[in-house]
Amino acid sequence: MASFDDIVLSPDPRLKQRCAEIGEITPEIRALAERMLDDMYLASGCGLAAPQVGELVRLVVIDCDYAGTDDRNPYVLVNPRIIAADGAERDFTEGCLSFPGISVTVTRPSHVIVEAEDLEGDTLRYEASDNLMAVCLQHEIDHLDGKTMVDYLGPIGRARALAECRKAIEEGAVPGEVGTGE
């Protein structure tokens, strides 16, 4: 059974590390993907990257249809890479399961194309524009490169967001709880 204890919280140093490519899709990788989906759904999240559960490999799970409903449409992305990130820059309010109790405004390209393998080893291409999927793909792939949503903020905004997150965790915030923004 998944628990919030699986989710790595800021300021854990694993969130700042670049993750290794997955060479072979083993039963352990499949089990990790299943555990990540369980954790993401438990926290009513829409995405989760392997370092957020303490595993430093390039694996992401996403389900932008779920958002706390019973409608599930999960994607498992092995070794995802951004092929293009363009379009108008847009401000998005983002939360993160590793930063409970806060949300921040991040400026990102509105259009993204991502290539990844699925659990069968087939290469797939995902394209998203001006929607939650475009944001989620970029946010989760950032995690694989050791970058988090607070890294997009200036020094003062980042310090404020990290202090707010620390306080929220001390007060009992759990993954899936987001704040009102910066």
Among candidate residues 179, 178, 175, the one with its CA nearest the CA of residue 41 = 175
Distance of alpha carbon 120 from alpha carbon 156, whole angstroms: 44
Q: Spot the catalytic one: 55, 94, 140, 164.
A: 140
Going residue by residue through the chain, which has 182 residues, state the pLDDT in tens, using 9 for 90 and above.
345 778 999 999 999 999 999 999 999 999 999 999 999 999 989 999 999 999 999 999 999 886 656 778 899 999 999 999 999 999 999 999 999 999 999 999 999 999 999 999 999 999 999 999 999 999 999 999 999 999 999 999 999 999 999 999 999 988 988 765 55
**Annotation says 140 is catalytic:** yes
Say what the pLDDT of residue 2 is: 42
pTM of the model: 0.93
**Chain Cα centroid distance, residue 74:** 13
Say what the pLDDT of residue 96 is: 97
- Domains identified in the chain and CATH numbers: 4-170 (3.90.45.10)
